[in-house]
Structure 1
Amino acid sequence: MRDIVYFDLETQRSFGDVGGAKNKDKMGISVGVAYSTRTGQYHIFGENQTDELVDMLIRADLVVGYNHIYFDYPVLQGYTILDLPNQTINLDMLLEVEKLLGHRLKLDAIASASLGMGKSADGLDALRWWQEYKKTGNTEPMMKIAEYCCYDVKVTKEVHEFGIKNGFLKYNDRNGNPTQVDVDWT
């Protein structure tokens, strides 16, 4: 059976905290989540488990994400010497859609139009939850991050599956009009 791994992570620090986007490897991981089609399960990784996450990504037949090539992998590079973009087989849906449309779309825009469901929070919420956890030691904010990240992975997986099944993704254009873009992810 082919193992497709859907993947996302949340960070400890923002671009502003680390001196800009060029320093993604200094952002730190609060939570990483991967869903494996081989196991049929979500796998949640803390910062001290990044080796396991990297191993899962390297072993996958395909890693699917949304902006994982230019965001998640550079963040993970702070934890590994491996060249993740070149040592994994990837489908970065953001990059694929950008090639087709000439501009970027948020995952939420595609998920809302294609699936009728959007994201449950955003990365700024995850950063606030991380700060709350660091200040209080209460693990409830970490659970919120894990839940949010799992939901993003679920949305990523369902958008990918929608594209495979239908050969297109729906989204609202810049004027708010429903439209679609053809994709070939078979």
Structure 2
Amino acid sequence: MRDIVYFDLETQKSFSAVGGAKNKAKMGVSVAVTYSTKSGQYHVYGEEQMDALVEQLVKADLVVGWNHIQFDYPVLQGYTIYDLENQTMNLDMMLDLEREDKLGFRLKLDSAAKVSLGMGKTADGLDALRWWNEYKKTGDKTFIMKIAEYCCFDVKVTKCVHEYGLEHGVIRYEDKAGNPAEVAVDWKK
């Protein structure tokens, strides 16, 4: 059976805290989540488990994410010697949709999820950063659980958007004026 691994992570620090986007490898991982079609399970990784996460990604037949090539992998590079972009098979749905022959602009996962699936994200990366900072201040693991829940839901939304595109051959989204629109996708490769 082919193993598709859906992937997302949340960071410990913002761009401004590490000197800008060029320093993503310094942002640190608070929580990472995968879903494997082979095992049918979600896996939540803490910072001390990055080797296991990298191993799962490298072994996957396909890693599917939303902006994972330009964001998640560069953050994760701070933990590994693997060249993740080139040593994994990937479908970055955001980058695929951004191509000039498709949308020509960056689409947010929330926009695709709302129109394609009728559900949106439960929070955003800034919430996850706030929760991380609260955890660091208080030691209260409830905040880590909030990050894990949010990240798990993002992985679920990513998986559902991918499956929608596979089934329908299109992704529906809100255009820049807020109207429903769709774009053709060919993700069955």
TM-score, normalised on structure 1? 0.99
Return the alpha-carbon distance in structure 2 between the equivalents of residues 7 and 123 of structure 1: 15
- CA RMSD in angstroms, aligned pairs only: 0.4
Specify the alignment match of 2:3 in structure 1.
3
Kindly state the Cα deviation for residue 19 of structure 1 after the two structures are TM-superposed: 0.2
One-letter code aligned to 2:145: M
Structure 2, unaligned stretches of length 5 or more?
A: none
Residues 100-119 of structure 1 aligned to structure 2 (within 5 Å)? 100-119=102-121
Specify the alignment match of 2:136 in structure 1.
134
Specify the alignment match of 2:58 in structure 1.
58
Q: Which runs of 4+ in 1 moved over 2 A?
A: none
Q: Residue 119 of structure 1: SS of its match in structure 2? A: coil
| Percent of matched pairs sharing the same residue | 70
Offset from partner CA, 1:22-74 (integer Å, 9 cap, x none) = 00000000000000001000000000000000000000000000000000000
Specify the alignment match of 2:40 in structure 1.
40
One-letter code aligned to 1:89: M
Specify the alignment match of 1:173 in structure 2.
175
Residues 22-41 of structure 1 aligned to structure 2 (within 5 Å)? 22-41=22-41
Return the alpha-carbon distance in structure 2 between the equivalents of residues 180 and 80 of structure 1: 38
Specify the alignment match of 1:68 in structure 2.
68
Return the alpha-carbon distance in structure 1 between the equivalents of residues 120 and 37 of structure 2: 22
Return the alpha-carbon distance in structure 2 between the equivalents of residues 129 and 175 of structure 1: 32
TM-score, normalised on structure 2? 0.98
Specify the alignment match of 1:82 in structure 2.
82
Q: How many residues are matched?
A: 186
Specify the alignment match of 1:152 in structure 2.
154
